[in-house]
Structures are given as structure tokens and as C-alpha cells.
Structure 1
Amino acid sequence: MRLLAALLLSLGALCMTTPASAQMYDPRYPVCMHVYGELLGERMDCIFTSLQQCQASIAGNPATCLVNPFYAPRSGRPGRPER
């Protein structure tokens, strides 16, 4: 009986979880804008190349600019050509 109760409790907890979402941070851009609030919804837009560009976009909106933790700059060195 305890096993059944534990199984049902585990199943209930599993059903209450939300599905995982895709990665919100685009690794091609160094700056993200975190938009929040009921009117605009909550989202992360990683489409900016500088903090100044992001700050100009959020003027008057409930948002903040963040450094993208997943930014992966391209290598400055050209790769070896393939043969």
C-alpha cells in the first residue's frame, strides 16, 4: 500500500511540473534584454551588440539589459582551408 501511495504521489508531482523550454539566450549576441510585466509578457531577447543599443530600445518599457552568459564570440583567426 505504501508503494502505491508513493507511486501516486510521484506521478502527481511529475504532472505538476512544466515542460522545459528552449534556450533563451542566443549565443551570437553579447547583450540581452529581459522584458517583464503583464502587458508585454516576460521574455528574453538576445539581439543586441552593445549595452547602449539595448538601453536605447528599452526606454520607457519594463525591461532591463543583461550581459549574455552564453555569448560565444567568433574566433578572430581564420581557420585552415579544407583540402
Structure 2
Amino acid sequence: MRILLLATLAIGTVSAAAPARSQTNDPSYPVCLHVYGKATYYECRYTSLAQCAGSASGRAAQCVLNPYVANALESPRWRQRRYRGAY
């Protein structure tokens, strides 16, 4: 009886969990909506600045390039070559 109760409790806990958020580093969405307020967060699901601007209108938010994709696209070799001549 105890095992049945624990199994039921485990199934209920798993099914009540919130869905996982989508990845913010998807290069298919190069524009993010940076929302300000009690919780500051990024919504990275826009393909253009104009599309994002429509969602940002009237909100405490601004459209920015996806910071996760911008940093991922820069190759480490390029950074090394850029600074090699300075020394």
C-alpha cells in the first residue's frame, strides 16, 4: 500500500511540473526581447528587430540582438589572432 501511495505521489509531482523553457541560444532566433520589471528576462523568439518591436510596444522592454548567439558565433581562433599582434 505504501508503494502505491509513493508511486501516485511521484506521478502527480512529475505531471504538475512546469514545462521546460526553450533554449535561448538557437541561431534561428537572432533577436531577443529584454523585459524589465520584477523579474528581468529574455524572450528569444524573434527573427527580426521589427517583429520584436511590435511585441515591445507599450511594455518595459527593449529589443536586443541575442547575446547568447552573438558570443557563440565568434570563433576562438579569431580572438587569438586579433590579440596576437599586440604583444
Give the TM-score of the pair, scaled to structure 2. Answer: 0.47
**Which one has a larger percent helix, Structure 1 or Structure 2?**
2
**Structure with bigger RCO (C-alpha 8 Å, 6+ apart):** 1
